[in-house]
Amino acid sequence: MNKTKRRIFTTAIKLFAEKGYENTGIEEITAVAGVAKGSLYYHFETKEELFDLLLEEGRKLLHNSIEIKFRDCQNALDKLKAIIMVQIKTLIRYEDFVTVVINNTLGENSRTKKCQKVVNSYIRIIKEVIEEGIKEGIFYDGDAEGIAFGIFGINFSNLLYRIKKDENVTAEQIYKSYIEIVVRGITKS
């Protein structure tokens, strides 16, 4: 992605997170990015295309990060710990992206369905790891999909709480306090 396209892209993410997709206009994106309207249309035919790129780039980033972390994992428990750390780091580092996705997951429009697809693709990875851990005898038998949604939700809520409570919280601090809860709750000892 060249510098102009990247500037437009990052500005749009920030504005979509702050104001919402519907309340962010092309004129505002170009003004804040410091580019001509024609430059935006050179790179993106529509605001929706820009939104779609945001989702695709975020999804790829998350999935690639998990794939890289899985290379060093010996079992489902190691994979679950890796997923949790990736989610924490993603939520901290890419807060605007996460805000855009989460803010657009409720409803019935096409953007909502696209955001739900991104979230569900991530939760599906967690579900597969839970199923693997159940087969390995590491995790208690249960509704793998329900557990995956729970892990996603609890991790997300825990992070939001800690960020609001202490802005200097690190991914490692959140991970250490959170991993004990999750591991203790689903792991056979």
Question: What's this model's pTM, rounded to 2 decimal places?
Answer: 0.84
Q: Do 7 and 99 have their domain in common?
A: no
| Structural domain boundaries, residue 88 | 55-186
Domain count, the chain: 2
Q: Please give the average per-residue pLDDT across 3-14, as a whole number.
A: 91
Site of tokens 């290379």: 71
pLDDT at 164: 67
Residues forming a β-bridge with 58:
none
pLDDT at 7: 92
Confirm whether 64 is domain-assigned: yes
Q: Do 39 and 120 have their domain in common?
A: no
Confirm whether 16 is domain-assigned: yes
Classify residue 39 as exposed, middle or buried by CB count within 10 Å of its CB (0-12, 13-18, 19+).
middle
Q: Do 92 and 39 have their domain in common?
A: no
Phi, psi of 22 (to 5 degrees): -65, -35
**Bigger pLDDT: 182 or 31?**
31
pLDDT at 163: 62
What DSSP assignment string belongs to 17-50?
HHH-STT--HHHHHHHHT--HHHHHHH-SSHHHH
CA proximity to 73, closest of 158, 136, 8, 165: 136
Tell me how far CA of residue 27 lies from CA of 7, 151, 172, in angstroms: 14, 39, 40
Q: In this model, does residue 167 exceed pLDDT 80?
A: no
Asked if 50 and 33 touch (Cβ cutoff 8 Å), the reply is no
Q: In this model, does residue 159 exceed pLDDT 90?
A: no
**Given pLDDT bands bounded at 50, 70 and 90, which one contains residue 8?**
very high
- Residues 9-62: tens digit of each pLDDT: 999 999 999 999 999 999 999 999 999 999 999 999 999 999 999 999 989 999
Confirm whether 140 is domain-assigned: yes
Q: In this model, does residue 130 exceed pLDDT 80?
A: yes
Q: Please give the average per-residue pLDDT across 129-154, as a whole number.
A: 92
Q: Please give the average per-residue pLDDT across 2-11, as a whole number.
A: 90
- Residues 57-103: tens digit of each pLDDT: 989 999 999 999 999 999 999 999 999 889 888 888 888 888 898 88
Q: Do 159 and 122 have their domain in common?
A: yes
Confirm whether 93 is domain-assigned: yes
Structure tokens at 16: 């979509």
Q: What is the CATH number of the domain that holds 85?
A: 1.10.357.10
Q: Please give the average per-residue pLDDT across 134-159, as a whole number.
A: 87
Phi, psi of 185 (to 5 degrees): -75, -30
Confirm whether 50 is domain-assigned: no
**Given pLDDT bands bounded at 50, 70 and 90, which one contains residue 107?**
confident
